[in-house]
Amino acid sequence: MMSVLTIRVRQITSRVCADRGLLALMALFALLLPLATPRVYATDEVQYYVYLRSLRFDGDLDFANDYRRFAELNPRSGIEGSLLQPNRIRPVTGLYGNIAPVGAAIVWAPFFLLADALVHLANLFGAGIPADGFSAPYIYAVCYASALYGLLGVLLSYRLARRFASGFAATLASATIWLASPLVFYMYVQMPFAHATGLFLTALFLTIWYETREWGRSEAEAERERGWRGWLALGLVGGLMTMTREQLGLFLLAPVIEALWRYARLVQNGGAATSGTGADGGRSDTGRSGPQPRLYRAFGRLALRHALFIATFAVAITPQLLVYQILNGAPRPAGEVSGKINWCSPHFIDTLIDFNPAPDFWCPDASDFTATFPPFSRGALVWSPALGLGLIGMTLLWRRDRLLTVALTMTFLAQTWINGAFGTTWHLTGAFGFRRLIECTPIFVVGLALLNDALIRRIGRFGILLPAVILIAWNFGLVLNATIFNAETNLRRGLTWPDVWRWQMEAPLRALRLAGDLLFRRCRFFENQTCE
């Protein structure tokens, strides 16, 4: 057994070493890692983190002491004025609420528990590190785990793009979407958010789904049947993905679309689509009977596999339902989340380009204060133009794989729709960029990789490399202005034109003047007990 495992590890290692794109992306991650700022500071980060601390050290989900301690450590973080307000206490349970899902904490748990074990081991030798879940080792473990998961998400996105594009095009696309979007911010600055972890789970889900897909590359190629292990993996990862951020459950549309296509094909072919080889690899005996029994059996086998997936998914999300029950007194999200949703999605368009941040014309009865926002200040494609290039490139996927194009497009539109449905928070005021679309990174990477290949044939590699560098530099300028140089103007509330142009032009010179602090003393710019 060990010899088989050793051989498998060597095979994987050799493949990674042979793929220069993977090596380049991993080297880039390592190069940027010293710029990381590991800390748990404001309300969202605290809510994701306290599941681990409270369960490990208190054995409960009563977060009152956790919130108070973080409020003491970070008095200007807003925790006191938000998480500790009386209206956050659930009347049914008497517990303070937590609107963050539990999935990120589950995925971070191995790193947190490893840090805990190392702290206790170090204390045996007199280290004197507080073993309380608030000290630096615990915070660092979760933050760097989040960054590592973000890297894995980028690598899986690259791997998917390599199926359709050259190595150079896919590598550049992965690096561009990563560094020219909010993803880099939530991997290295506000690390303990759920987005980097959510990206990993989403990319893993799409990878498993695509690599075990049940459709051929052409009409002539026979469909394959996904085995029970594939459906179990999809259900488990899909559950973790949904528990990390509830809206990520909309990525389940991919297997739903595949299932509808499969059922339609069965009806069209009268069950003949499965009359070749059976699920166990042997010859099927369906040809001995008439078309109707054959169709029923094919439907039955497919329905059983889908039932296995649904059952696995239901079991996988049980921890979240239990958390809802304990905190809210019912197995459903709190009203702070569900109460914001307006299902006609009044800001669907604004999510991408907020040229007129009033409710969209198909949702005339929706009204909120966001109509007073200046145009072109919060839209995802306004903050991160590289994402728009990825969407343009997705049109090139149609010739290569139509079912994949439909599935990815529908999941992206669903993510955009649900964000626009959050009528009062669609703009993500106070956040850097449009973080709710970070988990769509695999879609943007595939699209941009295809676009890169198409452009390379016309203008060469340098012709696409220069725009990528400009887009990345623009995003890094936004990061510096939003966190340090113009933090007092709160750039995160929106891009204030034409001031942004001036700030962006000034950013390189200011960065050079403060290079020493930015590289070695970044914590002087931030407030947090663990950022030292």
Paired strand residues for 277: 283
Backbone angles phi, psi at 357, to 5 degrees: -75, 35
DSSP classification of residue 341: B
pLDDT at position 279 = 36
DSSP reduced 3-state for 94: coil
Indicate whether 462 pLDDT > 70: yes
The continuous run of DSSP H or E covering 302 comes out as helix 291-316
Q: Report the DSSP beta bridge partners of residue 89.
A: 96
For helices 136-161 and 103-124, give the axis angle rounded to 10 degrees.
130
**Residue 284: per-residue pLDDT:** 44
Lowest mean pLDDT among 7-16, 228-237, 294-303, 390-399: 7-16
Q: Please, are residues 37 and 519 in contact by the beta-carbon 8 Å criterion?
A: no
| Tokens, residue 460 | 């060469």
CA 52-56-60 angle, to 5 degrees, is: 90
Share of the chain above pLDDT 70, in %: 87
Token pair belonging to 298: 């094919």
Distance CA 235, CA 310 (A): 7
Mean confidence (pLDDT) of the chain: 88
Give the pLDDT confidence of 402-426 residue by residue, as tens digits.
Answer: 999 999 999 999 999 999 998 788 8
- Model-level pTM greater than 0.75? yes
* Residues of the chain above pLDDT 90, percent: 65
Radius of gyration of the chain (CA): 24
Provide the residue type at 401 as one letter. D
Looking at the DSSP bridge assignments, the partners of residue 341 are 422
pLDDT for 176: 98
Q: Please give the pLDDT value at position 283.
A: 41
| CA distance to 6, 24, 220, 529, per residue, from 18 (Å) | 18, 11, 33, 42
- Which residues are paired to 96 by β-bridges? 89
The residue type at 149: Y
pLDDT digits (tens, 9 = 90+) for 80-108: 989 999 999 999 999 999 999 999 999 99
Q: Is the pLDDT of residue 470 over 80?
A: yes
d(CA 220, CA 339): 49
Q: How many CA atoms lie within 13 A of 420 on its CB side?
A: 28
DSSP string, 257-278: HHHHHHHHHHHHHTTGGGSSB-
